[in-house]
Amino acid sequence: MPVVHRRPGRHIGRMIEPRPDPLSLFADWFAEAERGEPNDPNGMALATVGPDGTPSVRMVLLKGYDSDGFVFYTNLQSRKGQHLAAHPKAALLFHWKSLRRQVRIEGPITPVTAAEADAYFASRARGSQLGAWASDQSRPLGSRFALEKKVAEVTARHVVGTVPRPPHWSGFRLAPTLIEFWRDGAFRLHDRLEYRRPDNAAPWTTRTLYP
């Protein structure tokens, strides 16, 4: 009889068990990723849409989540910042390769409050704070020297004391209307559990999808 090989981490059998609140399931999966994913368990792909309808995707870091949504921070003048200002909807994707799991999230975008942005900016390393002032994110850079010169100029302006948050630097919150949990299965018979709701105040509905 031929031997069937299956990659470690794959499962056969019981499907993902639905819960009333997808945030509970996300919290468990995220905690496992923090324990087992070797690099950036909070790394997530962020997809936005440009003025001409062309999609754009890049990696960002999740900096908080709760029942109101998933929060990340950026330069508001960056490409993604401009996209989100013009088209305040986005999609997120967490892919935890070592766990063979992923989570897709879609929904509308709103800015975080100034107090939230100030609090998070104050928690960043000083070098990252200075970098936020020095980087004209997504705009053409003539040379590495030009960037290093701007960093030196910003550092000279803030030798002592706290570094204030730049006016062009803040965050966004995605309020999920769709969350899909995906788990790798043997023979490509993956598990897919989808949660949907029309808005933040509505209850979640669930359905299991074919792989």
- Average pLDDT rounded to a whole number, residues 43-57: 96
User: Percentage of the chain surpassing pLDDT 70?
Assistant: 94
The verdict on residue 153 lying in a domain is: no
Does the pLDDT of residue 1 top 50, yes or no?
A: no
What CA–CA distance (Å, rounded) separates 170 from 156? 23
Give the H or E element holding residue 152: helix 144-157
Confidence at 15, pLDDT banded by 50, 70, 90: confident
Q: Quick one: angle between helices 126-134 and 144-157, nearest 10? A: 120
Task: Indicate the SS3 state at residue 95.
Answer: strand
The verdict on residue 29 lying in a domain is: yes
The verdict on residue 60 lying in a domain is: yes
Does the pLDDT of residue 2 top 90, yes or no?
A: no
The range of the structural domain enclosing residue 178 comes to 22-112+173-208
Cβ atoms within 10 Å of 141's Cβ, excluding its own: 13
Here the tokens at position 94 are 């967490």
Does the pLDDT of residue 82 top 70, yes or no?
A: yes
The verdict on residue 150 lying in a domain is: no
When divided into structural domains, the chain yields a total of 1
The domain that holds 27 is classified in CATH as 2.30.110.10
The verdict on residue 127 lying in a domain is: no
For the chain, how long is the longest CA-to-CA vector? 74
The verdict on residue 131 lying in a domain is: no
What does the pLDDT read at residue 12? 56
Confidence at 130, pLDDT banded by 50, 70, 90: very high
Active site residues: 188
What does the pLDDT read at residue 8? 46
Does the pLDDT of residue 140 top 70, yes or no?
A: yes
What does the pLDDT read at residue 11? 56
pTM beyond 0.85: yes
